Structure 1
Amino acid sequence: MHDFAYDFDTVTPEVWRANEENWKKKLLNLPNWYKIPLINCNASHNLSDGSLARFRGMVQDMHNPEFYFEEFEVFNTVTNEIKTKSGKYKDTASILENEKINYTENLKSAQRQTMVAVTLPGLNDWAQNIENDKNHLKHLEDQPNTSKRLNITKLKRSYDECDDEDAMEVEGSEGKKEPRVTETVAEPSNVVSREHLLNFPLPDVASKSCIIKIYDDSENLKLNDMIEVVGFLSVDPALSGEFQPDKNSLIEPTTETEAETITHNPPPSLVPRLHAVYVKKLDHCNPLVLDGVDKENVLKEANSAREHLLKALTELLLGDQLAAEYLICHLIACVYLRQDTLSLGQFCLNMSNLPTKKYPNYAKQLYDIIKQFVTKSYYLPLTVDNMNTMALLPKKDYDCNRLTSGVLQLSKHTHLVLDETQMQQGQLDSTGVHNISALGNLIKLQKVEYDFKYYKMEFDSDISVLVLSEGKSLLPSDYHVSLRPEASSLEIFDAIVEAATYYLKEEIMNTIRMYLTNLKLIKYSITEDLQFVEEDFIEMRSNSDSDNPVTADDLHRLLVLARLVSLSRGFDTLNKECWDITKKMEEERIKRLKNRVPPLS
């Protein structure tokens, strides 16, 4: 018996459909899941049409439901034999030269949801390399793609087309002619560009796109959800919008433009289709962290990982341990509860007083280390040019009937680093002002406003924003830490970066990477017995004056920070020790802001 359990490498849509429940049960118990080819890590031209494949990514857009023929009859004009076939998990009907589809009787239509998924925006190289090592199947490159087309009939049809049989037929290699489907379709039509078809959120980041067709209404997927899909691959070149048959406008009124047709039907060599048999929502995308977090073990090992991270960050922040403590809290923070307009758990950190006079690229060098720790991140220099020209917010394109992505269309737990030290003098135009406003809304509300032209719609987000600046940022923040570099560290910063890179061996890096992901997934609880918090808050209020009153917001800020201080040290609830550490951190942070010192050059 061959290695791949239960014949998943040879199963066809017909075989699967004959016993769906049994196949799905086998799939969920599959020990070598990675042997189902992952499109992210394997070239789709090495995968056979109609074979099982996987795709992992973010839901980027949703199209209108699509009607298809769930059951239809095929009549053989030579043998007079009638067969019943199904269009489920397929885009095309493979029929023989002498076969015709009966469009008048026993035709059962159904609908499927169509959505576009893109590989996870901002997925860092270390995570992608682990994914490639685990999922790249070398043997696929050694075998030719032998999938042959018979007569191809598209199964996505409007009801108006059902009488026009001739327009549907496309001869295969066994017929008299092979029309345009033999053309190379790697390059899209000149009607729209390749970038338009791929529509990735982040500019200049290598990504892949896939059209997912969902048959189960209960999936309840939303925009920006992280998903892994298993389904039957559909990569026949005839699916490209460039090869849609010409319609007689008198008989079949055109309901969509050529640009819309091509946008929704890009060349499969560029954007493959996947007919889903199983969809899994992902809580995270760290390839080092397996499903089902072992809470006890994570908390037990947290302090050790934290010490490694604290040591590295303190060095990189030029000897400033307080700034390192706040940065660790920022890196493990996420939205854990939404109440009305409140997003509880967000932790936008503004780190100012960066030594940009001596090290103009300090912010980028710091980011280059941070991206080695976190699974997904994006570095955005806040230059006047970027703000005036970049599309940060997604926007509906009614000409092509699709959502044009923007930089802020990101999946949860993505780290967005805004480098304000790159801002030069210049004038923000209306786009720039709008973009700055969008960043402010993201920070304050953890919401991103999508532009549907006639109306705006807010979507919840969970994006950790770190603002690096010289003075206090022009953007809002939850915590503002003014860096206090040590003079001795400033002199040897380049050597510090080199030493940190040497110290952070792969084993330590992986410990830190798992630590940062696991602590976002751990459930934290507040016990009834928090008398020490109440007593301290009463004392803080009694000691405050009218110029600097202590408010409920201050208590909320302390409790959010205390939650992260506790988790970072391996506690899933608040104790007096962590509370005292939190108070001391905030006292020192606020004291620094009141007693500002000029930056060390």
Structure 2
Amino acid sequence: MLDVHEIIRTACREHDHDIESLIDLEQYIGRLGKSTEPLELVSFRCLLQDTGYPMEVYLPGEHPEGEVDWSKLKERWVGWGVEIPGEQSWVGGDMQSVPGSLPAAVHTKYPLPDRKGDYVYDDVAFRPSSTHHFIGILSSSPLPSNEPEATEVVPTLHVLKIIDEEIEETVEDVREEIVDYLASAFSPPDRLAGEYLLLLLLSSPTARPAAMTPLGTLAINFRRKDESATANFNQIVQSIAPRVVPLPLSIQMLHSHPFLPSSTDSSSLDAGLLQLSEGTVLVVEEDAMGSGGQLNEKAVKNLKALAECITEQRVRYEYPYMEGLKMDSAIKVVVLSQGKTLLPVDIDVIVKGSHENAPIAPGSLQTLRRYLAKVSSRQHAAKLHIPDEIGEVIQEGFVQGRKENAETAEETLKRRMKVARLLALSYTEARLTKEVWQRTLQLDEEVMSRRL
């Protein structure tokens, strides 16, 4: 981080404000204002959409007129941040967003419509699509441009502090309660689907072996009879998952909205719909395709990008002088449809709830949120333990499966291992026991039986 006093001096200089008359520096640093006037402290949770701007040169410290020492020039990093796509209002508490309308020049820099953004200063570099919680001084600055006459002014945040998000070490074990609650996302409630939905919500790429698909991921297609229940599904998921983005996959959407981030002249990066923060749940509503229709080149490209995001957990960034640049992502993709999906999912679950299963209200949504945050964290995934004896049991089952059906044995094993890993993580001890493996087999068999 830059020196805090230097940051404040820079912000004051931009508004021709005497720093000494502002406020005692130590008091100022400890203050968080509710208003969004210039030189107020604000809190900004954001996704860094564009991190490719050139470093900015500035002159620190006081320099009397005519006595400038140009050897003291320094550089500072600049990025463009937007409100985190799909983040629920209950996540950040009393967060302060940046104010005002923005120039048309930045309207293409938002993955989702109707979002606000901010120009962020700091002295460290970040990767695109990373999420951060900044505390800083609100100001304004011209937007970088290749056009020397461009004078578009945008809100600017001089970063004083980066807040680290913490995961509670000890949480209440509410696994059965959260499965019951997620079962009510389907109409009528379906506990099998609810358990698979839980596994999807705690999935994340934990390792990326070379020439292989990432470990720890899970994409699911839930096939239900009636698309009218989509709103209820989204409401349930949004109530406990911090970032959820519904995607009505219509022909019009595929033809009109870019899915990939792109740059036409290397000076600025336009956002794509798949430029989402780590852990975002992307709810693909495939019923929006209706009876289908002809896809143009852009639509085919968007579908391919979505498929790559699911299987590889990577998103392509398009630059004019750089081909095939892909950056890691961690997006949880669930597909809602009335038939088999066109997308490359891992599991296809036919929803067959019973009207006898009434929706169950949770005791505390906050308790469910804390549990989900814990079991879906990287720290918890790192604790996963698979004892040698369980490995032997799995291997014996695979040998037996090959004897029964050699063509499907390998695919079945891969699917079951994906589920078994996540099923083990859904328990607070994160251990793949014989009981967990048996439950994996039961879930797999029930999903297969629903297709008959």
Alignment of 1:407-486 (within 5 A): 407-425=273-291, 426-454=293-321, 455-486=323-354
Q: Normalising by structure 1, report the TM-score.
A: 0.64
Give the distance between the partners of 2:206 and 2:41, measured in 1 at CA. Answer: 36
Cα distance, 1:333 vs structure 2: 1.2
Q: Determine the structure 2 residue equivalent to 1:67.
A: 57
Pair 1:364–1:429, CA change in 2 (3 A): farther
- Aligned equivalent of 1:274: 157
Distance 2:101 2:398 in 1: 66
Does 1:225 find its partner at 2:130? yes
Rounded Cα–Cα distance in structure 2 between residues aligned with 1:186 and 1:272: 8
SS in 1 for 2:161: strand
Residue pair 1:72, 1:107 contacting (<8 A) in 2 also: no
The partner residue of 2:107 within 184, 192, 195 is: 195
1:344 aligns with 2:215: yes
Aligned to 1:514: 370
Q: State the match for 2:393 in structure 1.
A: 535
Distance (whole Å) between structure 2 residues aligned to residue 34 and residue 346 of structure 1: 41
Letter in 2 for 1:567: L
Q: Deviations over 1:203-252 (max 9, x none)?
A: 24xx332212122xxx44211111122334324xxx446xx9xxxxxxxx
**Separation of aligned partners in 2, 1:423 and 1:473:** 11
On the 8 A contact 1:414/1:463 being kept in 2, the answer is yes
Deviation at 1:519? 0.8
Q: Distance in 2 between matches of 1:106 and 1:449?
A: 41
Q: Output the CA distance in 2 between the equivalents of 1:187 and 1:543.
A: 61
Paired residues of 1:384 and 1:423 also in contact (CA < 8 A): yes
SS in 1 for 2:199: helix
Deviation of the 1:581 alpha carbon:
0.6
Kept after mapping to 2: 8 A contact 1:122/1:414: yes
For 2:252 and 2:44, how far apart are their aligned partners in 1?
A: 35
In structure 2, the CA distance between the partners of 1:71 and 1:309, relative to structure 1 (3 Å rule), is closer
CA distance in 2, matches of 1:395, 1:450: 6
Aligned to 1:323: 193
Maintained 8 Å contact 1:349/1:477:
yes
Q: Distance in 2 between matches of 1:224 and 1:371?
A: 21
1:123 aligned onto 2:6: no
Q: Give yes or no for the alignment of 1:398 onto 2:265.
A: yes
> What is the CA–CA distance in structure 2 between the aligned matches of 1:564 and 1:278, rounded to whole Å?
35
Look up the equivalent residue of 2:56 and give its one-letter code. E
Root-mean-square deviation (CA, aligned residues, Å) is 3.3
CA distance in structure 1 between the aligned counterparts of 2:106 and 2:428, rounded to whole angstroms? 48
Distance 1:527 1:418, change over 3 A: closer
Whether the 8 Å CA contact 1:67–1:112 is kept in 2: the answer is yes
**CA gap 1:528/1:417 in 2 versus in 1, 3 angstroms:** closer
Q: Which SS does the other structure have where 2:306 is aligned?
A: helix
Identity %: 24
Q: Is the 8 A contact 1:348 1:443 kept in 2?
A: yes
Deviation at 1:316, TM superposition (A): 3.7
CA distance in 2, matches of 1:536, 1:258: 65
In the alignment, which residue of structure 1 is the partner of 2:16?
Answer: none
Which residue number in structure 1 is paired with residue 146 of structure 2?
A: 256
Q: Which amino acid aligns with 1:68?
A: Y
2:420 match: 562
Which one has the largest radius of gyration? 1
Residue 536 of structure 1 and its aligned partner are, at CA, apart by 4.2
TM-score, scaled relative to structure 2: 0.84
**2:75 matched to 1:111?**
yes
Deviation at 1:551, TM superposition (A): 4.2
Contact kept? 1:335, 1:346, Cα under 8 Å: yes
- The alpha carbon displacement at 1:43 in A equals 4.6
Q: Secondary structure at the match of 2:430?
A: coil
Which structure 1 segments of 5+ residues have no match? 1-7, 17-25, 75-99, 138-184, 245-254, 283-290, 490-495, 596-601
Instruction: Please list the CA deviations of residues 488-514 of structure 1 after superposition, one character each: whole Å capped at 9, or x if unmatched.
Output: 67xxxxxx6xx65xx24xx52111111
Partner of 1:21: none
Tell me the CA shift for residue 326 of structure 1: 0.8
1:574–1:274 Cα change, 3 Å? same
Q: Is the 8 A contact 2:183 2:193 kept in 1?
A: yes
Q: Counterparts of 1:127 and 1:336 in 2: how far apart (Å)?
A: 24
- 1:81-100 pair list within 5 angstroms: 100=65
Q: Is the alpha carbon distance of 1:109 and 1:326 closer, same or farther for their aligned partners in structure 2, counting shifts above 3 Å?
A: same
**1:377-414 CA distance string (max 9 Å, x none):** 11011111111111111111328x21001111011000
Contact conserved, 1:72 with 1:108, CA < 8 A, in 2?
no
Residues in 1 aligned to 2:257 and 2:410: alpha-carbon distance in whole angstroms:
38
